[in-house]
Amino acid sequence: MTTRSLSPCLALRRAGLALMAALLWPLAALADPALVFGPSPRALDNRAIFAPAHLPDWQALADAGIEAVILNQTFLAATDILPGPRTRRRDRPEGSYLTDADLADLALMLERTGLPLIYAAGLGLETAVCAPDLSPQEAGRAQAEDEWARGLSRLRRAGIRPAALNFDGPFLRWTRDSTKTGSCAVTSGGGGDAARAARTGLAYMAALQDRAEAAWGAPIGLAVTVNLPNWQVGPLHRIGNPQGPATIDLSEVLSEVARALAETPLRIEEVTVDYPYAILRDDPQMFRGKLQGLLEGMRGINGPGQAAPGLGIIVNTQSYPNPCLAAQGPDAVPFLPFRRNGAPIGPECIAAQIGNGDVTPAPDTDVEWMRDTLDYASGLRPGGWIDALLVSGIWPDRLYLQSWGLNPLSNVWYMAQLRQLALSGAR
């Protein structure tokens, strides 16, 4: 597709400028975390964003201070896993993942801008790797081979070396009571206890790192993304389970991780926190308590005398869908919510999804999503409303300005907003 289909985004840009002016001023005092950008695999320009025509946009982002790009595995996988007693694979339609030509464009962009690439690992689990008769090491290695074949090997063929692998929910997806999409519990009704989840997740991470380092002949760092609302941490319940029975405790899993790493070391460079904006706003003290539990569990994870993992925070993974999307009919193409039957949604719905900056009772536009994203970022400044919740002496090393959800409709527009964010002194 061409960028002409994005012409309605001019309205988005105009609405965003006024919003930006109102919200950027508090960011001048922000400390100096690195800013990492993650384009949305669900935007209208999910493929076009890497075309040579957009090289100036990427260069401007790099010049403004964005220090890396994080690429979700959704961009690479050509198949989906369908849940059930015997999982099946379904080919994803053309346009819902990057072609080899798109990857060549991505390689050119990374070479020209010098931006390092982080690969966000975490493809769904098939029934076979969730089988209880497999050892944690066997299950982890099998999942690593599948992820290599469906994701990382495509980067290898394109000549793109990731600087790091960031594993999204590597322990949560192996627990027996997980509600995470693509987990053993959701895919096939399987999963294990804290010890099995910890050892299987570590085996998966180590095997994929080994596979990648052998292929590229260079060291590749490891990070772990923790979806904190989806975990029980001590007495703090998992989201959606305030009165239900206790679920597997993250603190217990981290104790098992530390025990396993004492036997077979694996250096974890960073723990990245995924905590959506609305959930944090609704219960800030829950965020504080869970963050404290996470950091305490990770403190000695790399062994005696070794530095603890750094801290990254993802800025707003919430989705704000406009009601017009449902009226347009069901998604015809997985991962592409703005397309129906191979074509973009109608111009009226595009305009409604963009929004005009008006405040609505239930946020349902890209402009409102960007407003909350900026509020999240500004809240992390010294004295900000989120900074007051952080553990004393702990400051995020990285802010991940990424979107794996529905918003925004345009990556080009998103990049323009983040360029202004970086230039305003937020780095």
Q: Residue 175 pLDDT > 90, yes or no?
A: yes
- Please state, rounded to an integer, the average pLDDT across all residues of the chain: 87
Shortest CA distance to 417 belongs to which of 401, 406, 404, 405?
A: 401
Model confidence band, residue 424 (pLDDT cutoffs 50, 70, 90):
low
Does residue 307 carry a pLDDT above 60?
yes
The 3-class SS string of 115-137 reads CCEEEEECCCCCHHHHCCCCCHH
Q: Could you tell me the pLDDT band of residue 114, with boundaries at 50, 70 and 90?
A: very high
Superfamily covering domain 30-320+376-423: Glycosidases (3.20.20.80)
pLDDT value at position 318?
84
pLDDT more than 90, % of the chain: 61
Each residue's pLDDT tens digit, 367-388: 999 999 988 988 887 778 888 8
Residue 277 reports pLDDT greater than 60? yes
pLDDT band, residue 426 (cuts 50/70/90): very low
Averaged pLDDT, 164-179: 96
192 falls in which pLDDT band (50, 70, 90)? Answer: very high
Confidence of residue 297 (pLDDT cuts 50, 70, 90): very high
At residue 250 the predicted structure's pLDDT band, cuts being 50, 70 and 90, is very high
Q: For position 4, what pLDDT does the model report?
A: 34
Instruction: Determine the average pLDDT of the residues in 237-251.
Output: 89
pLDDT value for 180: 87
The DSSP bridge pattern shows strands 79-82 and 88-91 to be: antiparallel
pLDDT of 247 over the 60 cut:
yes
Domain residue extents for the chain:
30-320+376-423
Which sign does the torsion angle of CA 112, 115, 118, 120 carry?
A: negative
Span 244-265, mean pLDDT? 95
Position 306 pLDDT exceeds 60? yes
The pTM (predicted TM-score) of the whole model is: 0.90
pLDDT of 2-51, one tens digit each? 333 344 444 444 444 444 333 333 333 345 788 999 999 989 899 999 99
- What is residue 383's predicted lDDT score, i.e. its pLDDT? 79
Report the candidate in 44, 97, 69, 50 with the shortest Cα–Cα distance to residue 366. Answer: 44
